[in-house]
Structure 1
Amino acid sequence: MEPLLIILCCIYCTVFVVGTTGNLIMVMVTFYCKNLRSICNILIGFCCFCDLLLFTNIIAFMISMFMPITQEFCYFMSIPADFGAFASSACVLDVGIDRLIAVALPARYKTLEHDRFWYLFILIAFPVVYAVVLLYVGFTQRDPSRNFIFVVCLVPESLGHAYDLFALTSFFINLFVLPIYVYVYLKIKKMGLNSSMKAVFKSLMITVCLVLCGWMATDTVGALSLTLPIDKNVARMMQLYAGVFILSSSSFNAFVYYRISRDYRTAIRAMLRISNATSVSKGTGYRDTTDKARSSTHRRSTITVRTSMHM
């Protein structure tokens, strides 16, 4: 095996262990801690689950490194990873839309929380349907005639031309992601919400930026490998190393939330029995924060009325 492939295998193995462990912890802590089961936290957990599926692509890659496989077999072996890549891209937009509704229409959002099952169902249905449609396109373009041809099984190779459709649609999805998150961030600062929600959204912003940068770097390197007049082996190696960017960016979820969000940090430590903490502080949802703000406003107005009556 080439030295560069050996290095790449070592990198992927490290990323696999870190990313799988971190995203699994994020999924588990969402179920473990009752105070992390708000709509936003559930969506974050779903995004981490999609990223967890994405890391199964490393298993397919390692298998293809040591045995020749066909493109069709690569497709079937990469279905979980392809689904995770597709759904994760759309899930980031879902979280942004949820936060946009929460800060722009707090009264409406409160009613949605009462029907949270259908609200979550609609939000999660979008990335699931989006992923299933792209998987079907990839299924129709699988190539069973490529027998006994060495295939490096990564997401682009498993999809064939369907990957071009994913790159195009995800580009338009990401066009909406950044403006939505910037608007929500500015709105949160203006509303003066509690530090807990600020920390959660700051974590969201960082993870979204990492993922966007990871996809941009992966797509850029992949495009350069196809357009530059370079040797085919060099271009192939560039495409293989390009996947490191998106896989690495998706492996930092747990570390970002643990470092910035006190609620997630407390919950993770409690779940792992690192400390005696058993619960997360209250008021991690926009509903609790809004209710507190409303109640404090009502108390101030009541005191003003009573004072004027007394005078």
Structure 2
Amino acid sequence: MELLLVILLFLYSTIFIVGFTGNLFMVLVTLHSNKLRSICNILICVCCFCDLLLFTDVIAFVVSMLTPLTQELCFYISIPADFGAFASNACVLAIGIDRLIAVAAPTRYKLLENERYKYLFLQMTFPVIYSSTLLIMGFGQRDPRRNVVCLLPESLGHAYDMFALSSFGINLFVPPIYAYVYFKVKNMSDNNSIKTVFKSLSVTVWFVVCGWMTTDLIGALTVILPMDRSVARMVQLYCGTFIFTSSAFNAVVYYKFSRDYRSAMRTMLGLSNEVSIADINIYQQASDPPKSSNQRPFTNTS
């Protein structure tokens, strides 16, 4: 077994424990808590579920280190992980679009809350179609004669090249959207509680974007630049650690920066009672004057 693969196995195993547990916890706490039922919270939950699927790729990798796997078998084993990787990448863009609509047209966004399931269906259309298309391309790249180290680049064959390039393009749109949302929220009110609404989401997004952009950039370079195929694949396998690492700390970030998630997590673990929070939209708070001098600022993730 190559030393570089042994090191990679250690890195992925460590990240897997943190990432799989954390994202599973995020999904469970969203299902458990009644106050995490906004459109944005549901989209965050979907992203965490996709990240959860992504981390199953580490299991396929460990299996391939213990016994030879053909590229065709690797493709079939990695379908959940590959779908999770593709959809997670697109979900970050979907959340950005949701926040853009929320701050650009708050009145219309309130109406969408009444049709949330139709709206969520539309939001998830692109991630599902995008992921399915790449999987179909990967299906056509199956090779039953070649043994591989079973991770995302190898499971897709040459279809990975299309994923690396398209993913890089998707992530180019994410920073401008979130930057616009940030400045829009910043200009809504001088109240610091309004400015902290997007903190946990923004920190997570920047982690993910940096992870994906780094991986996509390296992946794109290995496709464009003349490079030995075996060297290129090893580089792609290692740069995948950026994606796994950026997706591993969702629970930590939301616990640290979001009062609602922190309260819901502690309640689910039995460490505290869930704090009653008024069902008030933050954008209404930003535009309406306080009804009372005793009204306390409210922070929500949506």
Question: Please, what TM-score do these two structures have when normalized by structure 2?
Answer: 0.88
2:169 aligned with 1:172, yes or no?
Answer: yes
Residues 48, 253 of structure 1: 8 Å contact kept: yes
Q: CA deviation at 1:220?
A: 3.9
CA 16–299 in structure 1, closer or farther in 2 if over 3 Å, else same: closer
User: Would you say how many aligned residue pairs link Structure 1 and Structure 2?
Assistant: 293
Structure number with larger C-alpha Rg = 1
Correspondence 1:43-62 to 2 at 5 A? 43-62=43-62
CA distance in structure 1 between the partners assigned to 2:291 and 2:266 by the alignment: 37
Secondary structure, aligned partner of 1:277: coil
Secondary structure, aligned partner of 2:278: coil
Match of 2:156 in 1: 159
Query: Could you report, residue by residue, the CA deviation over 1:106-137 in whole angstroms, capped at 9, with x for unpaired residues?
Result: 11111111111101111122211211111111
CA 140–150 in structure 1, closer or farther in 2 if over 3 Å, else same: closer
Correspondence 1:16-165 to 2 at 5 A? 16-144=16-144, 147=145, 149-165=146-162
CA distance in structure 1 between the partners assigned to 2:112 and 2:95 by the alignment: 15
CA 194–272 in structure 1, closer or farther in 2 if over 3 Å, else same: farther
Secondary structure, aligned partner of 1:35: coil
Match of 1:289 in 2: 282
Cα RMSD of the aligned pairs, angstroms, is: 2.4
Instruction: Tell which deviates more after alignment, 84-93 or 289-298.
Output: 289-298
CA distance in structure 1 between the partners assigned to 2:91 and 2:181 by the alignment: 16
The sequence identity of aligned pairs, in percent, is 60
Match of 1:4 in 2: 4
Q: CA deviation at 1:172?
A: 2.0
CA 299–236 in structure 1, closer or farther in 2 if over 3 Å, else same: closer
Amino acid at match of 1:281: I
CA 198–242 in structure 1, closer or farther in 2 if over 3 Å, else same: same
Residues 103, 283 of structure 2: 8 Å contact kept: no
Query: Could you report, residue by residue, the CA deviation over 1:186-228 in whole angstroms, capped at 9, with x for unpaired residues?
Result: 1111112876664442122222211121123223444556677
Correspondence 1:261-280 to 2 at 5 A? 261-273=258-270, 275-279=271-275
CA distance in structure 2 between the partners assigned to 1:61 and 1:113 by the alignment: 41
CA distance in structure 2 between the partners assigned to 1:271 and 1:197 by the alignment: 26
CA distance in structure 2 between the partners assigned to 1:89 and 1:230 by the alignment: 26
Q: CA deviation at 1:281?
A: 3.1
Residues 196, 262 of structure 1: 8 Å contact kept: no
Residues 266, 280 of structure 1: 8 Å contact kept: no
5+ residue gaps, structure 1, are 301-311
CA distance in structure 2 between the partners assigned to 1:6 and 1:95 by the alignment: 37
CA 260–12 in structure 1, closer or farther in 2 if over 3 Å, else same: same
Correspondence 1:237-252 to 2 at 5 A? 237-252=234-249
Q: CA deviation at 1:268?
A: 0.7
CA distance in structure 1 between the partners assigned to 2:216 and 2:287 by the alignment: 46
Amino acid at match of 2:267: A
CA 30–161 in structure 1, closer or farther in 2 if over 3 Å, else same: same
Q: CA deviation at 1:296?
A: 2.8
2:196 aligned with 1:203, yes or no?
Answer: no
Residues 196, 263 of structure 1: 8 Å contact kept: no
Higher helix share: 1
Secondary structure, aligned partner of 2:91: helix
CA 16–209 in structure 1, closer or farther in 2 if over 3 Å, else same: same
Amino acid at match of 1:290: Y
Instruction: Tell which deviates more after alignment, 287-296 or 154-163.
Output: 287-296
Query: Could you report, residue by residue, the CA deviation over 1:134-181 in whole angstroms, capped at 9, with x for unpaired residues?
Result: 11111122223xx2x330111111111211222222222112111110
Structure 1 stretches of 4+ with a deviation exceeding 6 A read 226-233, 297-300
Amino acid at match of 2:180: Y
Q: CA deviation at 1:298?
A: 8.5
Residues 33, 279 of structure 1: 8 Å contact kept: no
